[in-house]
Amino acid sequence: MGLEIDLAGKGWPAGTGLPGRRFIVPDIKLIAIDLDDTLLKNDLTISPRAKKAIAGAVKSGVAVTLATGRMFASALPFARDLNLDLPLITYQGALVKYADGRVVYHRPLPLGLAKEVARFLKPYRYHINVYVNDELYMEKDSPEGRRYAGIARVPVRLVEDLAEALTQDPTKMLVIVEEPEIDRLGLDLKEEFGEKINITKSKSNFLEIGHREATKGRALESLARSLGLEPSQVMAIGDSWNDLDMLEYAGLGVAVENAAPEVKRVARYITRSNDDDGVAEAIEKLVLAGQQQR
């Protein structure tokens, strides 16, 4: 039986369907947290309060991991800063890997299919990232590419032609394109490749292309199962479209206040924004407070 807490009208549970202001919180044993626009503040740092809440959860026996669309190399410094020892869910779930380098699983795009996608995208003339062996490849040095590399804090390998340069299965591909073109491109890709690839948005201008089974939800389910946990014992926190299936899988899906409307609709609980310690508040209220009263 989960703990019943009084929300006092703050952080209203979005999808509980329960009357009043009381909410049954499950006994959480695993927390998966998205990075950008969720755990990371707008200045791309983790607040001291969030670090303290995560450390408190780990100390109390709750497993914590990151679930991000970022490269493993880009997510690793944050995991080390938080002293996390679980496998990290990276590349939207295409690569699950321990901080020490042990790979749990890798679901890259098949090489032939990736080349097809690269050739299909070329006439659109949008900026494209391709990731191979945790390295970032770009076809041209563009403002979008430089901005992305600066945020990810990883070096870039420039090539003449992405389709021709690919010799190994890439972990994923990313197209940077503004709205509304991003949605039209998603439909074009869906029409051309159908269920062969997974297409999702991680930001309003980031279109992610990966293995059809490479999603955060699938990766989180696999990790929870390996720990002997049920979905009801899992909490997932996110903000964007690529977090949807992760929040739907978790017994306690949490959206930050700045999340996309679609994400808020599937969440069971809405916390404060990423820039107002939403992750910390969710862990304090839904995990740490509950453990103190159990």
**Contact of 217 with 207, CB cutoff 8 Å:** no
Question: Residue 271 pLDDT more than 70?
Answer: yes
Q: Does domain 3-106+215-293 have CATH number 3.40.50.1000?
A: yes
For residue 293, is it left (φ>0), alpha (ψ between -120 and 50) or beta? alpha
Judging by DSSP bridges, how do beta strands 234-238 and 269-270 pair with one another?
unpaired
Query: How many CB atoms lie under 10 A from the CB of residue 18?
Result: 11
Pick the more confident residue, 9 or 126.
126
pLDDT above 50: residue 19: no
Q: Which CATH architecture has domain 111-211?
A: 2-Layer Sandwich (3.30)
To the query of whether residue 34 is one of the catalytic residues in this protein, the response is: yes
| Span 171-200, average pLDDT | 97
Inform me whether the pLDDT recorded for 174 exceeds 90. Answer: yes
Give me the pLDDT at residue 24, please: 73
In contact, 238 and 93? CB cutoff 8 Å: no
Query: Worst-scoring range by mean pLDDT, 38-52, 151-165, 171-185, 278-292?
Result: 278-292
Of the chain, the percentage scoring pLDDT greater than 90 comes to 86
Q: What is the mean pLDDT of residues 234-251?
A: 98
The pLDDT assigned to 4 comes to: 59
Q: pLDDT tens digit string along 93-116?
A: 999 999 999 999 999 999 999 999
Helix (H) or strand (E) run with residue 121 in it: helix 111-121
Q: What is the predicted pLDDT for the residue at 15? A: 44
Tell me the domain boundaries of the chain: 3-106+215-293, 111-211
Which among 27, 34, 183, 245 is annotated as catalytic? 34
pLDDT value of residue 293: 55
In tens, the pLDDT along 284-293 reads: 999 998 665 5
